[in-house]
Structure 1
Amino acid sequence: MARRLAAIALLLLVAIAAVGPIRSYDFFWHLATGRWIVEHHALPVYDPFAVASAHVPWINGEWLFEVGLYDGYSLAGFPGISFLNALFVAVIFAGALWFASSTTDVAVATVAAAAGFAGASDRLGVRPAAAAALLVVLALAILTSSITVTRMGIAYAALTIIWINTHPSAVLAPVLAAAMLLIDLRRWPVAVASAIALLVNPFGWRAIAAPLRLTRLVGSGEFVNAEWLPSYPSLFPLLYATIAVGVAMFIFVHEKRNNAARFAVFVVLAILAVQHVRNQGLYFAALPLILPPLMGLSRNQRIALGALSAIALGWALIRADRRVGIDDLRFPVRAVARLQASALPGNIYNVDQFGGYLEWMFYGQRRVLTDGRNELFRDFIAEDSRARHDSRVWHALLARYHADLAVDEYQRQKIEVIDAASGERRFLPASLVRYRRRDWALIAFDDAAMVFARRAAYPPGVVERLEYRYLVPDDPSIRYASDTIRLAARAEVERAKREIGDLNVVRALEKGARD
C-alpha cells in the first residue's frame, strides 16, 4: 500500500511541477520534421529546411519521437503539449520509484526519485532526451526483473529497437545489458540481442556511428554548444551531491558482489552526466534504480527521508514556471508574427536557436539558414563565426545565401568600429554594425529578437512603411543627436506598443527616449 501511495503522490506532484512552457530550441525543428514525415510518408534523405546545411545524407535517429510529437501537437496544440509533457515526465519518475521499490525501501526509492526530478527538471523539456530518460528506466526495469532470459531478451530487444529510432543514446542499451553479466553470465543473449537490435532502423550501422561522430565533432572545439559542456559543480551541485551519496552507499553496502552490476551502470551514467550537461537527464531518471537497495529502515529514518523528498519536490514546485505553450521570452513570437504579416519574401538569416521556430512558422514557404542540428552545419558554423568578427566576411555571407531578411538575437556587448576618414574608434550597438541602416531596416522586434529587411530587395516604400527608423532595441539608452529625433523615437515607441505590445524592450526604449 505504501508503495502504491508513494508512486501516486509522486506522479501527481511531479506532474504539477513539470508544467511549463516550451523552451527547447530544438522542439520546433523536431516538430517540423515530424510534419514532413507524416505528410510525405517517408524520411527526408537530405535536410529540407535550411539553405546552409551540408548536402549530405541526414541520419535522423529521432524520427520516431518526431512523428509522435507532431501527432501530439495535432491533437492538443501547443498548450496541450505543455500538459502532456508534464504527465510524461511524471511517469518517468513515478515509474522509476515503482520499479525501484520492489527491491529497496519505498522511502529510499522516493527520495531518489524526488532528487532525480529536482536535478533533471531543467533537462527534460519536450525533446527526444526526455523519451530516452523513460527508455532508460524501462531498460533497467527489464534488466533487473526476474523474468526468464528468453523473455528478457525479446522484451529488451524490442525496447532497443524503439530506443534507436527515438534517441541516439540507444547505443547504451547493450552496454547496460552487458553490465548485468557481472551478476549472471547466463544473460549474455540479452546483450547480444540488444546489440543486433540497434541495427533495426532506417539507417543501419550509420545510426550507431552518427552520435559517435557528433561527439568527436563537439569535442574538437570547432563550436560551443551549451548542452555539450561539462557539468560544473558550481552550476550543478545536486549532480555531485547525489554521486557522492551513491558512492558512499556502494562503499558501505554489505552485498557488494550482488550490487556490482548496479555500480557499473551507476558509474557509466554518472561519468556521462559529468562529461556533458545533456546526459544529466539519463542519470537522474535512472537514479532510483542504480543505487544499492536498502531495507529494514527505522520509522525515524523513513520520516527523515520523507522530509528530504518533500524538500526536493517543494524546491521544484517553487521554482517551476507554470506558463503553457510557447515561451515568448525565449522565442521571437511577436517579432516573427509581424514578419509573417508583412508577407516579405526571401531567405532568412538567423542564429541557430531561432532556426527551428522559423522553420515551423514558415513551413513550406521559405528556408532559413541554420538551426540546432550542429552535425549538418559544420562549415556554416565556422563561416558564421568568422563573419561575426569581420564585416567583409559578414556581408559576403549574407550575399552568398541571398539573405534578404534577418532574425537576430540581442548582443549587449557593443562592437568597436574605426572611422575610415578620421581614424576615430567608437563602440556601436551590434545591430547598427551588422545591419547598417542605409542598407537594412528594422521592421519588428520583441524581447527575444530583432527582424531586419534588406532595402534593395524590395520595391521602394515597402520596407519603409514597416520600418522603425529611430529605435535601437539592443541599446535602448542610445543618445539621440537632436530633440527632433528623440521625439520621432518616442512616436515609434507608441507605435511599438500598439503593434508589438507593452514588452520589456519597449518599456526600456520608452525610458531611453524619455531620459
Structure 2
Amino acid sequence: MAAALAAVLFASFLRPMWDIDLFWHVQAGRWILDHRALPDRDIFAYTDPSRRWHTFQWLYEVLCAAGERALGLHAVQWAHHAVVAGALGWLCATVARRAGVAAGLLAAGCVLVGFGDRVRERPDVFNLWCTVAILPWVVQREPLRRRQLLALGGLGAVWASLHAGGALLLPTLLGARALARTGLAGWSRAALREGALSVSPAVGLLISPGYLAGLGHALGMIDATAEFIPEWATAWQYLTNPGTSPYGRWTALGVVAWPTLAWALTRRAQPPGRADPPWLPALVVLPLLVLAGRHMRFLWLASLAPAVVLLWRPVAEPGRPPAPRWQAWVAALALAVGLHHQVWTLSGGPAQAAQRALVPLDPGAFPVTAARLLRDCGQSGTAVFNHAAWGGYLLHALAPGARVYSDGRGNFSAVEAAVLADLNRVSARRAAIERAFAATPFQWLVHPSPFPLWDHDRARWVLVAKDPDAEVWLPAHAPGGAGRAGAMLACLGLPSAATATTGWAEAVGERRIAASAALSARLARWQAAAAAGDAAAARQVLALWFNHGVHGRCAQAAFDATVDGDAGVRYWRALCSASHSGPASARAAIEEALRLPPAAWTAAAIPARERARLERMARVGILGP
C-alpha cells in the first residue's frame, strides 16, 4: 500500500523544472568536487569575489553535481520527486504499523497537503525525509537505547551536511522529548540524566565539515534577504495576502487545524489501562507549530502534528478495535486535496500533466536561447548583469567561470540589494543599471523581454539579441566592449549590429509569441474607437496603456505581419513597444496617426521624418518581414 501511494505521488510530482536554485547548487557541487574543499569566499558573484560565503548544504550540492555529471539534470530533478514520494510512503507505512492503514493514509495525506508547495528541486526534500526518519524515535515511550542514539547522531551528521538549517530540527525535537519525559518522571536525577543523554545525538551536527560557519552565514542572511524572498514572511502574512491561492490559504489554516486534529487523535492514542497525559506528543508538536507560524517556508511542519500523535500510540495489538471510520474519510480528503494541487493547480489537469511530465524546463522560465547564443559565441565565463531569478541558470549554462550579479543565494550587499529593488521600478531602472555598472563593470546584460531602456545612449548600450523570453544587451563602453561586439557579429556571420537580432532569430528558429488575451482586448477597443471616428476615446485607451507601463509590456505581443497587414497599425504597435522609441515620441506619433481617417492608415501615411526609424526597427525585427 505504501509503495503504491509513493508511485502515485511520484507520478503526480512530475512537471517541468521552474525553481531557480538547483542550477547554482549544481555549480557549487562541481566546484567542491573539482577543488576537494569547501568555499569560504563568493565563487559566483562578479561584484566582490572576496566576499565571505560559506555553503551550508555542501553534501546536497555534491550529490546534485555528481548526479548531473553521470545522468543529467533531468535525472536529478526526478530524484528530488522520488525522495518526497518515498518519504510520504515511508511515513504512511510507519504510522500504519502502529495505528492502522487509515491512520497511515491520514498522516501521509496531511503532510502531502502541507508539503505540497515544497515539492521542488531544493534541499528541503531531505528535511522531509530526515524528519520522517526520526519521528518514531522522538515519540518513543521507552528510553532511547545506545544503538538508537548512535544512529541518530550519524543521521544528524549527514542531515547537517545536506541542509544545516533543517538539521536543527533534530536537537529541537529531541530537546522537546527530553523535556516531556523528564517532567513525567518528576525531574529526578535519573530522569535528568536520561534527558541529557537523549539530546546527545545533536553532537553529530558538529561533525559535519563547515557546519557552524555555514549555519552562521545562513542565519545572518535572513534579515538582509527578507525583502526579496517572500517565503521568509510569517504564516499570518501569507494567510492574509490577497495574492495567496485558495490552496495556500487552506494550508495556512493548518496552523490551527492540524493541532486540533492532533488533539482529537490524542484522546484515542492512550494504551489500554493507562491514562498518561499526552505531554510527550504535545511538547513535540509545540516547536513545530512555533516554526510553522514564524516563517511561511516552515508552514509544512504543522502538518506533522497528526503523525506525531499517531506514532505515539503503541504498536497495534491483536484484538484492538479498528480505527474510527472518520480517519479514513479525513485521509481521503487530505490525499484528494494534495493530489488536486499537484495535478490540477500546478500542472493544469491530467492531460497537460502527462504532456509536461517529460519536459525538463518550464517553457519561458529561463533564458535558454539567450544563454545558448552567448555560449555558442564564446562568451562563457563572462560577467553578466542579470534578472535575479536567472542567475543560477546563467551560471549553469555559461559554465565554467561565469559570474553573475545575483543568483538566488542572497549573498549581496545593501548597495546591491537597492539596485535589485530599483530594477522592479521602471522609472528607476536605467539609473540602477548605471549605478551597478559604475560600481563593477559587466560584459552583458540579460533580462526578461521586454526590458525597456527608454532613454538609453545607443552608443553605450547595444541590443544584441531579443526573443520572447529575454533580451541580451552589450555595454559597448565596457572594457573590451568593442571587441566583444565584433566577436558576436563574426560568430553570427552578420555585417552589422542592426541585423544581428533578426539573423539570430532566424538562425535559431525562434517564432514570436502570440498576443495575450488582455492585449488583444485593448487593441480591439482602440481599433473600434478609431474606426468610429472617436479619436478622444482612442487616445484615452492609449493613455491608460502608457500609465500602466504598456510601452514595455505590449512588446510581449506578436508583431507578425500576417496578423495585420495595415502598415499604419503595425507602425503604432512598433512605436508602442520598441525600446528605440521613448514614450513621449511614441505618444506623439500615435496621436498624429489617430487624426487620420482609417482609410489613410497606409505606408504613405507614415510621416516622412519617421520612415528612417521605422526602417531601423524593421531591421532589428520589431515589425517582422
TM-score (norm 1): 0.80
Counterpart selection for 1:335 from 351, 367, 370: 370
Q: Do 1:174 and 1:191's aligned partners in 2 also have CA atoms closer than 8 Å?
A: no
Give runs of aligned pairs for residues 67-216 of structure 1, distance below 5 A: 67-145=62-140, 148-167=144-163, 168-185=165-182, 186=191, 187-216=194-223
Q: Does 1:372 align with 2:408?
A: yes
Deviations 1:25-83 (A, max 9, x none): 11111000011111111112212221124734322110000001112212321222232
Residue 225 of structure 1 aligns with an amino acid whose one-letter code is I
Q: Do 1:142 and 1:155's aligned partners in 2 also have CA atoms closer than 8 Å?
A: no
Shift of 1:89: 1.3
Aligned twin of 1:237: 249
Deviations 1:79-132 (A, max 9, x none): 222322221110121112122223333213313312322332231211111111
Is the deviation greater in 264-273 or in 143-152? 143-152
- What's the secondary structure of 2:199's corresponding residue? helix
Q: What is the rounded CA distance, in whole Å, between the counterparts of 1:189 and 1:48 in structure 2?
A: 41
Aligned twin of 1:475: 554
Residue 226 of structure 1 aligns with an amino acid whose one-letter code is P
Give runs of aligned pairs for residues 21-60 of structure 1, distance below 5 A: 21-53=16-48, 55-60=50-55
Counterpart selection for 2:286 from 256, 264, 267: 267
- What's the secondary structure of 2:50's corresponding residue? coil
Deviations 1:444-471 (A, max 9, x none): 3444432211234124765515246999
Aligned twin of 1:382: 418
- What's the secondary structure of 2:156's corresponding residue? helix
* Structure 1 pair 298–131 and aligned structure 2 pair: CA distance change class (3 A): closer
* Structure 1 pair 434–22 and aligned structure 2 pair: CA distance change class (3 A): farther
Aligned twin of 1:431: 452
Aligned twin of 2:61: 66
Q: What is the rounded CA distance, in whole Å, between the counterparts of 1:329 and 1:291 in structure 2?
A: 44
Q: What is the rounded CA distance, in whole Å, between the counterparts of 1:352 and 1:283 in structure 2?
A: 31
* Structure 1 pair 390–49 and aligned structure 2 pair: CA distance change class (3 A): closer
Give runs of aligned pairs for residues 402-417 of structure 1, distance below 5 A: 402-409=441-448
Shift of 1:348: 0.9
Q: Does 1:440 align with 2:461?
A: yes
Residue 405 of structure 1 aligns with an amino acid whose one-letter code is W
Aligned twin of 1:277: 296
Deviations 1:334-390 (A, max 9, x none): 221122223347421113221111111122243222211114544422344357637
Q: What is the rounded CA distance, in whole Å, between the counterparts of 1:401 and 1:205 in structure 2?
A: 31
Q: Which of the pair has the greater relative contact order for Cα pairs under 8 Å at 6+ separation?
A: 1
* Structure 1 pair 384–303 and aligned structure 2 pair: CA distance change class (3 A): closer
Q: Do 2:16 and 2:358's aligned partners in 1 also have CA atoms closer than 8 Å?
A: yes
Identity of aligned residues (%): 21
Residue 181 of structure 1 aligns with an amino acid whose one-letter code is A
Aligned twin of 1:308: 333
Residue 260 of structure 1 aligns with an amino acid whose one-letter code is W
Q: What is the rounded CA distance, in whole Å, between the counterparts of 1:369 and 1:224 in structure 2?
A: 14
Q: Do 1:339 and 1:444's aligned partners in 2 also have CA atoms closer than 8 Å?
A: no
Is the deviation greater in 121-130 or in 373-382? 373-382
Is the deviation greater in 57-66 or in 195-204? 195-204
Q: Do 1:171 and 1:208's aligned partners in 2 also have CA atoms closer than 8 Å?
A: no
* Structure 1 pair 486–299 and aligned structure 2 pair: CA distance change class (3 A): farther
Shift of 1:198: 2.2
Q: What is the rounded CA distance, in whole Å, between the counterparts of 1:122 and 1:165 in structure 2?
A: 23
Q: Do 1:107 and 1:306's aligned partners in 2 also have CA atoms closer than 8 Å?
A: yes
Q: What is the rounded CA distance, in whole Å, between the counterparts of 2:553 and 2:442 in structure 1?
A: 21
Q: What is the rounded CA distance, in whole Å, between the counterparts of 2:138 and 2:5 in structure 1?
A: 24
TM-score (norm 2): 0.67
Residue 61 of structure 1 aligns with an amino acid whose one-letter code is F
Q: What is the rounded CA distance, in whole Å, between the counterparts of 1:435 and 1:173 in structure 2?
A: 54
Shift of 1:154: 0.8
Structure 1 or 2, whichever has the larger Rg, is: 2
Q: Which runs of 5+ in 2 are unaligned?
A: 183-190, 314-319, 348-356, 490-496, 506-511, 513-550, 558-572, 576-588, 590-605
The number of equivalent residue pairs is 470
- What's the secondary structure of 1:475's corresponding residue? helix
* Structure 1 pair 240–353 and aligned structure 2 pair: CA distance change class (3 A): closer
Counterpart selection for 2:360 from 325, 348, 352: 325
Is the deviation greater in 14-23 or in 99-108? 99-108
